[in-house]
Amino acid sequence: MKNRSWPNIFSSESLYKKFFKPILAKDEGVDAEQLTQLALNSLRQASLYRNWPGISQALTQLEIELNRKDPRLEQKIFGCHFKNPLGLAAGFDKNGIAAGIWNNFGFGFAELGTVTWHAQEGNPKPRLFRLSKEKAALNRMGFNNNGAVTMRDILERQKLKSPGNRSSLIGLNLGKSKVTPLEQAHEDYASSLEILSSFADYAVINVSSPNTPNLRKLQDAKALRRLIKRLRRLPSCPPLLVKIAPDLDNIAIDSLTTVAFEEGLAGIIAVNTSIDRLGLENRIIAQTKNPLSQENGGLSGRPLRGRAIEIIQRLRKNAGADLTLIGVGGIDTPESAWERITAGASLIQIYTGWIFEGPALVPKILEGLVLQLDRHGFKNISEAVGSNVPWI
C-alpha cells in the first residue's frame, strides 16, 4: 500500500491541526454541537456541488490524501462489496447531507442517521459534551433529525449512484420517533425504511440509544422479532442489522444473538453509547459543573473500548463465523482497530475517535491493518477476523 499523502499547508491534516485540534484539546470553549454543525454545513455544500470546478478538484485531492486502496482489505459481506472495513458510524451525518462525499474521506462505508419518521428537535441543549482528556464524549441528543421524508429529498438532490454502483457504501440507521408509542414502533420504523430503502446498501435497526425514553425495551426478543418481521414485509427491504447497547448483560446478549440467527439478520453492530460511566462517575462536566454520574446521556469514545471488545468476543463465540459483526466504540488507533477485527468484527466504525484524531485517522488505521496482515502472514482481512492474534 503506497502512502500517497502529500505535505501541503492546505491538506486536511494540516487544517485540522491548525483549526480544530486546539479546540478539541479542552472541554470548554466552542460548543461541541456548534462545532459539529459548522463542519456539517461545509460538507453539505461540498457534497451538493461536488462536480463543480474547484470543489471537484479539492475533493479529488482529499481522496488522494486519505484513501488507501489495497485488495487485501476488500470483502464481500451480505451481498455488498466493501473496499475496506472502516466506516463512519451513525450519529454524525444524521440527515445524509454529505452522503455524496464520504468516499473522499477514505471510508469504505458511511452510516447515515439516526433518522426517524417524524422530524424532531431532540433533547434540550446543551446536549453534547467533550471529555478531552479521556478522548470521550457525552451526548443526549435524542435523535434530532429532519425526518425520513426530508432525508429522502436530500439524498435525491445529491444524485447518488445506486446501491451496488458506489465505491463507498451507504447504510441507513433507523430509530423510533419520540412521539410514537412503543407498541407502534414497528410501523414507525417501517414508514422510514419504506421511502428510504432505495438509497440503502443496508439498514440498521437502532434499538439501543439511551436518549429516547423506553427505546431499549425494543431489544427484548419478542419486541425485536416483531419489528424485524414488519420490516421484512416491505417490498424492497435491504440487508438488516441491529445495533445493540454495551449495557446489556450476557443473557440478553445471547438472546439477541439467537434472534439474529433465527430471523436471518445480516449482522449485529456492537456497540452504541453507554449509560455506565465506566469509572468516570466523578468526572466533572465543565459546562454544567456536575459529575458525570449526575448527567443523563450516553458515553462514547475511548472508555468504551474494553466493554465493546468483550461483547464482540461473546457475540463471535456464540454466533460462529456466519453472522457479520460490526465493531464500534473506542476505536481511535490502528491497534484498537486491529484488536476489534481479531476479536471477531468483520467491519469497524469510528466517530468520536475520528473527531479527536482528525481525518488522518482513516489512512492511519488502514495502513496499520495492512501492516498487521503482512506481519502475521494473512492473505486478506477476512483471514484476520476472529483470529485473536495480537498487534505486533
pLDDT at position 1: 57
pLDDT at position 10: 61
Is the residue at 32 inside a domain? yes
**Average pLDDT estimate for 270-283:** 98
Q: Which residues contact 368 (CB under 8 A, 6 or more apart)?
A: 333, 334, 335, 337, 338
The mean pLDDT of the chain is 96
* pLDDT of 26 above 50: yes
User: Is there a binding annotation on residue 79?
Assistant: no
Task: Give me the CATH number covering residue 172.
Answer: 3.20.20.70
SS3 call for 244: strand
**Average pLDDT estimate for 369-380:** 98
Is the residue at 239 inside a domain? yes
Grid cell digits, residue 199: 438509497
Is the residue at 262 inside a domain? yes
Is the residue at 7 inside a domain? no
CB 159: neighbour CB atoms within 10 A?
10
Assess contact for 273 and 265: CB atoms under 8 A: no
* pLDDT of 177 above 60: yes
Is the residue at 6 inside a domain? no
Q: What is the largest CA-CA distance in the chain?
A: 56
* pLDDT of 175 above 70: yes
pLDDT at position 230: 98
pLDDT at position 7: 45
Is the residue at 226 inside a domain? yes
pLDDT at position 11: 85
Grid cell digits, residue 22: 486546539
* pLDDT of 146 above 70: yes
321 pLDDT band, cuts 50/70/90, is: confident
User: Is there a binding annotation on residue 271?
Assistant: yes
Report the alpha-carbon distance of residue 120 to residue 145 in Å, rounded.
Answer: 6
8 pLDDT band, cuts 50/70/90, is: low
pLDDT at position 320: 81
User: Is there a binding annotation on residue 94?
Assistant: yes
Nearest alpha carbon to residue 309 among 383, 211, 391: 391
Is the residue at 377 inside a domain? yes
pLDDT at position 4: 47
6 pLDDT band, cuts 50/70/90, is: very low
* pLDDT of 9 above 90: no
User: Is there a binding annotation on residue 270?
Assistant: no
- The pTM (predicted TM-score) of the whole model is 0.96
User: Is there a binding annotation on residue 214?
Assistant: no
Is the residue at 280 inside a domain? yes
* pLDDT of 92 above 80: yes
Any catalytic annotation for residue 387?
A: no
- Indicate the range of 13-22, 49-58, 200-209 predicted with least confidence: 13-22
Compute, in degrees rounded to 10, the torsion defined by CA atoms 351, 62, 45, 151: -40
Q: What is the DSSP string of 158-222?
A: TTPPPTTS-SSEEEEEE---TTS-GGGHHHHHHHHHHHHGGG-SEEEEE---TTSTTGGGGGSHH
pLDDT at position 222: 95
Question: Given 11, 12, 47, 209, which residue is catalytic?
Answer: 209
**Average pLDDT estimate for 227-238:** 97
Assess contact for 212 and 218: CB atoms under 8 A: no
Q: How wide is the angle at C-alpha 302 spanned by C-alphas 7 and 131, nearest 5°?
A: 90
pLDDT at position 366: 98
Domain that holds residue 57: 12-384
Write out pLDDT tens, residues 37-80: 999 999 999 999 999 999 999 999 999 999 999 999 999 999 99
* pLDDT of 118 above 70: yes
Count the domains in the chain.
1
SS3 call for 60: helix
Report the alpha-carbon distance of residue 327 to residue 348 in Å, rounded.
Answer: 5
Nearest alpha carbon to residue 48 among 198, 169, 153, 164: 153
